[in-house]
């Protein structure tokens, strides 16, 4: 069984049981994990959208079944270097996407995403492996 990192969009769709069938099929047999970013973003959303106790409990229960990749110093370096290389090419990268990509690259894991365009530059220039629709 191999590990695959869920981008926040894929995690959200998966939690709501609305993951597109094609990507859902590609995730069969994979051990799903997330980065610290994908723990933080839904936490923010639950507060902004005033989730009630039951929905919060459902999310917590769902998240308990995911592995959260450990943060290592190598992730911070891998975040900074590609950011610096991309800037002269005019490719300013979203901060959270950059953290997710850095985690995947350091751990040598593919990223399941529905936002290919957000990660295409990482795939082309940094070797990020994408698992998408």
Residue with the larger pLDDT of the pair 1 and 66: 66
Per-residue burial over 43-78, b if 16 or more Cβ lie within 10 Å, else e, is: eeeeeeeeeeeeeeeebeeebeebeebeeeeebeeb
The whole-number pLDDT of residue 39 equals 92
Domain boundaries, the chain: 3-131
**Confidence band, pLDDT 50/70/90 cuts, at residue 1:** low
Tell me what the mean pLDDT of segment 46-74 comes to.
Answer: 91
Q: Which CATH number fits domain 3-131: 3.30.9.10, 1.10.10.10, 3.40.50.2300, 3.40.50.1010?
A: 3.40.50.1010
pLDDT digits (tens, 9 = 90+) for 82-99: 888 888 887 777 889 999
- By DSSP bridging, strand 111-112 and strand 3-6 are parallel
pLDDT at 91: 74
Give the mean model confidence (pLDDT) for residues 29-36.
94
Question: What CA–CA distances, in Å, run from 7 to 23, 34, 49, 84?
Answer: 12, 7, 20, 22
Distance CA 18, CA 53 (A): 22
User: What gap in Å lies between CA 11 and CA 14, rounded to an integer?
Assistant: 5
Is the pLDDT score of 28 beyond 80? yes
State the average pLDDT over residues 120-125: 90
At residue 133 the predicted structure's pLDDT band, cuts being 50, 70 and 90, is low
What is residue 92's predicted lDDT score, i.e. its pLDDT?
73
Residue 68 parent element (H or E): strand 67-68
Query: Any residues with CB less than 8 A from the CB of 33 and at least 6 apart, and which?
Result: 3, 4, 5, 6, 66, 67, 68, 69, 109
> What is the reported pTM?
0.89
How far is the CA of 15 from the CAs of 34, 62, 66, in angstroms?
A: 13, 7, 11
Nearest one of 26, 73, 58 to 6, comparing CA atoms: 26
């Amino acid at each position: 069984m191999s590990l695959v990192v869920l981008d926040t969009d894929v995690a959200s769709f998966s939690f709501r049981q609305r993951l597109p069938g094609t990507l859902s099929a590609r995730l069969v047999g994979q051990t799903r994990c997330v980065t610290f970013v994908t723990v933080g973003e839904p936490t923010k959303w639950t507060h902004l959208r005033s989730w009630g106790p039951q929905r919060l409990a459902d999310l917590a229960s769902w998240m308990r079944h995911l592995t959260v990749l450990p943060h290592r110093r190598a992730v911070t370096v891998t975040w900074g270097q590609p950011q610096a290389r991309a800037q002269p090419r005019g490719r300013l990268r979203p901060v959270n996407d950059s953290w997710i990509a850095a985690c995947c690259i350091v751990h040598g894991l593919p990223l399941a995403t529905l936002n290919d365009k957000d990660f295409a530059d990482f795939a082309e220039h940094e070797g990020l492996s994408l698992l998408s629709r």
